[in-house]
Chain A
Amino acid sequence: MATTGSPNDPRTPVTRPTLSREAAIGAIRRVRRQPRVLVPLRRLPAWRVRMVAVLGVLGPGLVSGFADNDAGGITTYSLAGARFGYSLLWVILASQVVLFFTQEVGARLGLATGKGLMGLIRERWGVRWAAFAAAMMLLANLGSIVAEFAGIGSALSLFGIPPQISAAVAAVVVVSLIALGSYSRIQYLFVAIGLSVSIAYVISANLAHPAWDVAFQNLIVPQLQSSPAYWLMVVGTVGTTITPWGQAFIQSYVADKGLRSEDLPASRLDVFAGALLTNVIAAFILIAVAATLWTSGQRDIATAADAAKALTPIAGPAASGLFAVGLLGASFLGLGVVPLTSAYTACEAFGWETGVNWNWREAPAFYGLLAFFIGFAALFVMIPGLPLIQVMFSAQVLNAVLLPFILVFVMLLAADRKMLGPLASGRILLTLGWLATGLLVLLSLILAFTSIAGP
């Protein structure tokens, strides 16, 4: 008897492969009204596979939390530290708590229904409300995407590259990364950059000898001021931490990963870790900036070069280079998530989410939206003389103002026992959720009031 050891056996039976009986029957099984050729279906929309692959290494909560510290995040925390010293630290702690509760609800919706946020809104309230919610979310997301491009523009301006060129190059890079599906490979680089710059901020904060006692006190005890600028900064800080896209993202991601009710404890842990991580980093950025810029009397940040000074204690003259790399990494990390989430959100609201093959021809809406978001943001940043830092901050304020619209839907869905069964919010979680939503609405109202009434 011959095994693989004697490959030259001439007596091997040779038969041509034939169509199997099952395949032949299968091919003719469905000829009901008009015979036609069956085209094989692909399993998952390609981009969904990509999206899961992109972020598969981290849990949904961690990813969402980490992507929160994007270009807009770094800039906003820097601005908060420079303008108001340590006094906004309490906002970061409060945001963390609220972030945990909103993300937890999002995860629960995904676990219980296996569907995305817009899909649920449409099923519950019909297509008009879904269109409204999608419009709110897309407006906020558009702001976020503009902020990411502004981040790239600011980062590269430190090397003397004008934003017109950097935006064009960044748009091409992002489109190719998404089209080639290679965000998955390069994602680690951005995460690594983000982490190392975060660590740089932690060290820098320590080296700058901050007033730890003041910082700690301000973390726990809110220091309220009545100036419109102060409340604008509060709103921006909240808006960069808790975002409409983060809400849609966590739910879709949990659903796409096929997680289910049993995974609730793990998901809660993941969401908690994500909220903690993002806010610890945020706090250290703020402290580092407060201990350097604010302490030395520079009370505003006009350009990225100013913000980079917060890294001088650790990096010395290389601070601006380090800051530029960090901002760049954070921007690309955000661009790997926000545009895809936006396009998916819109498709879901209008019922295009379950197309067959996600190529250009079969999902024109999806790719059209993606192209629109990236193209619009890149072109917007090219406007000459645009104050990029201010643009990034304003996008966070926009996010915060639009967030309550989304959260109202989320909280209403979370209470729906018919839809969520045992995963529906209990009385305590529901109260906390509405409390958080109410606070956000209140914040927007305070912002509106203070900016009208003046100081």
Chain B
Amino acid sequence: MLYLSEAIGRPVRDRNFDQIGKVSDLIVAIEDQYPPVTGLVVRTDRRSIFLPWSAVRSLDGTGAQLATARIDIDKFQQRPNEILLRADLMDKQIVDIDGRKVVRVNDLRLDEIDGRLRLVAVDVGAAGLVRRLGLGRGFRVLARSLHVSVPERYIDWEDVDPVESSIASIKLRVPHQGLAELHPADLAAILDRLAPRDRAGVLASLDDEAVADAMEEMEPDTQVEVLEDLAPERAADILEEMSPDDAADLVADLDQDTRDDILRYMEPSEAQEVQELLAYPEDTAGGIMTTAYIAVGEHVTAGGAIDLLREWEPDAETIYYVYVTDDDDRLVGVLSLRDLIVAPPSTVVADVMIREPVAVGAFADEDEVAEVVAHYNLLAVPVVDGEGRLVGIVTIDDAIDTVIPAAWKKRLPRVFGRR
């Protein structure tokens, strides 16, 4: 076992035990589960030289010993899958995938596995900090006499995601596999905490859907920041993946130029949906509704409706209600999923639906919407325009959102906002 901090600065000796320089950095190749050391950067009097691992006989806390008599003084050429432990990882921030948080690297732990020295873990504990500060021995004595232990904490390299994009020498595209596996809410919390530049690096590697899911969980301010940092094409793709109501809320927070830019790159139908939603004031039913609902004509059969459900489900916000509209798109009835399933497949929906369902006007106050949802124990309430045409639904999560967090959602105006 070897800590990086124990190797840095130690002498490098040739076969005759003459010192040729000091260990300046270690190079590992990110290929296996535990990246093997592939070389040393040695600081000599005049410059930094690179030693391939094959030229090194041993490396431990006392220094490095060379295996060859002669050394080729190679100028260090970083291969695309290699990183420098000290320059790229030490003291930098990483994401602890298992603990779902951003932490700083105190030290790096190397171990011999399968006959090769490999990076196995990141030290993020107090013990590593004490060692780095050069207080290791004093602290151990103190801790022993006080009968306390200096907490050691390691993160297995498998659970580490290096997020630093300020690392100039990282040429490899970090896939951020671990981050992609996180729950969107956790990913959002982590993205919230990264510096904008690191965040951009992470976002670039995630697919649109993962970003969209995380976006829906973010604070409005962060959403705007993230979107404005992306190219409009990418921003448009991500907005398309978001549910239309969330997308519209977000677009509403953008400045006019950015908004136009992004909407131009969106699929026309999706852009139109968003724009229609934008037409409603933010605190009305229209402002919080989504257009991703399921509506069928009066003459469709129950079996046909279930088929439609299957087809549309991926996009719809909720499938617990199926709305029934007439030829002019006017809302005439509603069916719960249960009604639909228990009805014989050949029945026409008009015969089993509940007529005159509860609905709210598009300009109804959001508090009123919440009241209706609560009063009738609805999972979603349909929204209709002045002529009674179905224009959207407000799902229960959006409805209660407007009432409950009133206290903590109050944000102070930005002095130096971009608006």
Interface residues of A (CB under 8 A from B): 1-4, 7, 9, 11-18, 20, 26-27, 29-30, 32, 38, 40-44, 52-53, 56-59, 113-115, 119, 122-123, 126-128, 130-131, 255, 257-260, 262-263, 266-267, 270, 350-351, 353-356, 418-419
Stretch at the interface among B24-32, B76-84, B352-360: B352-360
Nearest residue, chain B, Cβ from A365: B126
A259 touches B416 (CB 8 A): yes
A123 touches B416 (CB 8 A): no
A4 touches B358 (CB 8 A): yes
A2 touches B195 (CB 8 A): no
User: What are 21 A-B contacts with C-beta separation under 8 Å?
Assistant: A1-B331, A7-B376, A11-B357, A13-B354, A13-B378, A15-B377, A18-B320, A26-B185, A32-B181, A43-B188, A43-B218, A44-B193, A56-B414, A56-B415, A114-B197, A122-B104, A126-B91, A258-B222, A351-B105, A351-B124, A353-B104
B354 touches A41 (CB 8 A): no
A57 touches B321 (CB 8 A): no
B396 touches A43 (CB 8 A): no
Nearest residue, chain A, Cβ from B156: A33
Number of residues on chain B facing chain A (CB within 8 A)? 71
What's the least CB distance linking B214 to chain A, in Å?
11
> Which of B330, B332, B377 is A14 in contact with, Cβ under 8 Å?
B377
What's the least CB distance linking B390 to chain A, in Å?
10
Given contacts A15-B379, A30-B182, A41-B186, 7 further A-B contacts (CB under 8 A): A2-B356, A4-B364, A7-B376, A122-B91, A127-B91, A263-B418, A350-B129
Cα separation A59 to B360 with both chains bound (whole Å)? 42
A354 touches B102 (CB 8 A): yes
Cα separation A7 to B184 with both chains bound (whole Å)? 37
Write out the residue numbers on chain A whose beta carbons fall within 8 Å of the beta carbon of B192: 43-44
> Which of B134, B196, B415, B418 is A57 in contact with, Cβ under 8 Å?
B415
B356 touches A260 (CB 8 A): no
Q: Please provide the 9 A-B residue pairs with the shortest distance between their CB atoms, ordered closest to farther.
A: A351-B104, A114-B195, A56-B412, A41-B189, A354-B102, A12-B376, A13-B336, A2-B356, A114-B196
Q: B214-228: which have CB < 8 Å to A?
A: 218-219, 221-222, 225
For residue B90, CB closer than 8 A to chain A, the reply is yes
Write out the residue numbers on chain B whose beta carbons fall within 8 Å of the beta carbon of A2: 356-359
In terms of DSSP, what is the predominant structure of the interface of chain A? loop
> Which of B354, B355, B376, B416 is A267 in contact with, Cβ under 8 Å?
B416
Cα separation A408 to B137 with both chains bound (whole Å)? 31
> Which of B321, B355, B360 is A3 in contact with, Cβ under 8 Å?
B360
Write out the residue numbers on chain B whose beta carbons fall within 8 Å of the beta carbon of A16: 377
Cα separation A355 to B192 with both chains bound (whole Å)? 13
Cα separation A20 to B402 with both chains bound (whole Å)? 20
Write out the residue numbers on chain B whose beta carbons fall within 8 Å of the beta carbon of A3: 358-361, 384
B184 touches A26 (CB 8 A): yes
Nearest residue, chain B, Cβ from A62: B415
A354 touches B189 (CB 8 A): no
Nearest residue, chain B, Cβ from A353: B104
Cα separation A257 to B415 with both chains bound (whole Å)? 10
Nearest residue, chain B, Cβ from A116: B195
Cα separation A20 to B357 with both chains bound (whole Å)? 23
Cα separation A7 to B90 with both chains bound (whole Å)? 63
A123 touches B91 (CB 8 A): yes
A12 touches B418 (CB 8 A): no
| Contact of A255 with B195 at beta-carbon distance under 8 Å, contacts A13-B336, A42-B189 already known | yes
> Which of A9, A126, A258, A353 is B225 in contact with, Cβ under 8 Å?
A258
Cα separation A118 to B31 with both chains bound (whole Å)? 33
> Which of B124, B168, B185 is A40 in contact with, Cβ under 8 Å?
B185
Cα separation A30 to B98 with both chains bound (whole Å)? 9
Cα separation A269 to B218 with both chains bound (whole Å)? 30
Write out the residue numbers on chain A whose beta carbons fall within 8 Å of the beta carbon of B304: none
Cα separation A350 to B126 with both chains bound (whole Å)? 9
| Contact of A1 with B91 at beta-carbon distance under 8 Å, contacts A40-B185, A257-B416, A351-B104 already known | no
Q: B316-344: which have CB < 8 Å to A?
A: 318, 320-321, 330-332, 334, 336, 338-339
For residue B375, CB closer than 8 A to chain A, the reply is yes
What's the least CB distance linking B341 to chain A, in Å?
13
Nearest residue, chain B, Cβ from A351: B104
Cα separation A355 to B377 with both chains bound (whole Å)? 39
Cα separation A262 to B166 with both chains bound (whole Å)? 19
> Which of B129, B133, B356, B396 is A11 in contact with, Cβ under 8 Å?
B356
Interface residues as binary, B125-150 with A (CB distance below 8 Å gives 1, 0 otherwise) = 00001001110000000000000000
Nearest residue, chain A, Cβ from B375: A7
A15 touches B338 (CB 8 A): yes
> Which of A14, A126, A354 is B103 in contact with, Cβ under 8 Å?
A354
Nearest residue, chain A, Cβ from B107: A127
Cα separation A259 to B182 with both chains bound (whole Å)? 27
Write out the residue numbers on chain A whose beta carbons fall within 8 Å of the beta carbon of B321: 13
> Which of A1, A44, A259 is B388 in contact with, Cβ under 8 Å?
A1
Q: B194-224: which have CB < 8 Å to A?
A: 195-197, 218-219, 221-222
Write out the residue numbers on chain B whose beta carbons fall within 8 Å of the beta carbon of A44: 192-193, 219
> Which of A26, A59, A113, A127 is B197 in contact with, Cβ under 8 Å?
A113
Write out the residue numbers on chain B whose beta carbons fall within 8 Å of the beta carbon of A267: 416
Nearest residue, chain B, Cβ from A352: B104
Write out the residue numbers on chain A whose beta carbons fall within 8 Å of the beta carbon of B331: 1
Write out the residue numbers on chain A whose beta carbons fall within 8 Å of the beta carbon of B221: 258
For residue B284, CB closer than 8 A to chain A, the reply is no
Q: B350-394: which have CB < 8 Å to A?
A: 354-361, 364, 368, 372, 375-379, 384, 388
> Which of A29, A58, A59, A418 is B181 in contact with, Cβ under 8 Å?
A29
B372 touches A4 (CB 8 A): yes
> Which of A11, A40, A354 is B193 in contact with, Cβ under 8 Å?
A354
Nearest residue, chain B, Cβ from A184: B412
What's the least CB distance linking B288 to chain A, in Å?
15
B134 touches A128 (CB 8 A): yes
For residue B75, CB closer than 8 A to chain A, the reply is no
Interface residues as binary, B79-102 with A (CB distance below 8 Å gives 1, 0 otherwise) = 000000000001111000000111
| Contact of A57 with B412 at beta-carbon distance under 8 Å, contacts A12-B376, A30-B182, A113-B195 already known | yes
What's the least CB distance linking B178 to chain A, in Å?
9
Write out the residue numbers on chain B whose beta carbons fall within 8 Å of the beta carbon of A258: 196, 221-222, 225
A13 touches B132 (CB 8 A): no
> Which of A57, A58, A354 is B101 in contact with, Cβ under 8 Å?
A354
What's the least CB distance linking B100 to chain A, in Å?
6
Write out the residue numbers on chain A whose beta carbons fall within 8 Å of the beta carbon of B103: 351, 354
